[in-house]
Amino acid sequence: MGKSEGNSLTLNTLKERGFAPLAYRYLILGTHYRTPLTFSWESAAAAQEGLNNFFDKFTALHKPLVPIPIKMGKDSPEMESLRNNFLTAINDDLNAPKALAVAWDVLKSNLDDTDKRNLLLECDKILGLRLDDLKPVSIPTKVTDLVKAREMARQSKNWIKSDEIRQEIEQLGFKVEDTDSGPVVKPKR
């Protein structure tokens, strides 16, 4: 990839195609710096999806953020283990893909939400995903009402009405995903 070859990539190009610049960072974090990165729009889309999932899970840790200074020897064994795994990965020839995997392990861990958030914020000082800028999302009542109306339309198999309501929800800046446990509303990123 290079400007002289006519195939350079700028952040503006990413933005024009609907990708967040942090999705590119996430893509790069997923490849060890000694390994050539083969960029494609498909890999950018996968990185955007992965980043969005990470952000969704992080913002779901909705307990109030109370930064706690690192207390050596006072954290739970699981928290110390995860922190050590992250630091070991980063100190192992800057193994960012492994460090990112440890960040995902933190999200899946049995730590309480506050400890997860605080540990991820520590990790983010290296990863640079700007987790401290993310705020819990509150869903407006209008969107909640639309989701309920859409669900009623789906139950009565009125797919046209259901799609119309989905578009209305998207115009309000949210997206709805249908899951086995019911609809899930997320902000559009």
Chain segment 36-78, per-residue pLDDT in tens: 888 889 999 999 999 988 998 898 886 544 454 544 447 889 9
pLDDT in tens, 144-154: 899 999 999 99
Pair of tokens at residue 130 = 């700007």
Q: What CA–CA distances, in Å, run from 101 to 50, 71, 75, 91, 120?
A: 12, 24, 21, 15, 12
| Domain boundaries of the chain, sorted by first residue | 1-136, 141-187
Contact 94, 29 (CB under 8 A): no
C-alpha 102 chain-centroid distance: 14
**Residues 6 or more apart from 126 whose CB is under 8 A from it?**
90, 99
Contact 108, 116 (CB under 8 A): no
For residue 178, list its beta bridge partners.
183
Eight-state DSSP code of residue 36: P
**Residue 6: how many other CB atoms lie within 10 Å:** 7
pTM of this prediction? 0.71
Architecture of domain 1-136: Up-down Bundle (1.20)
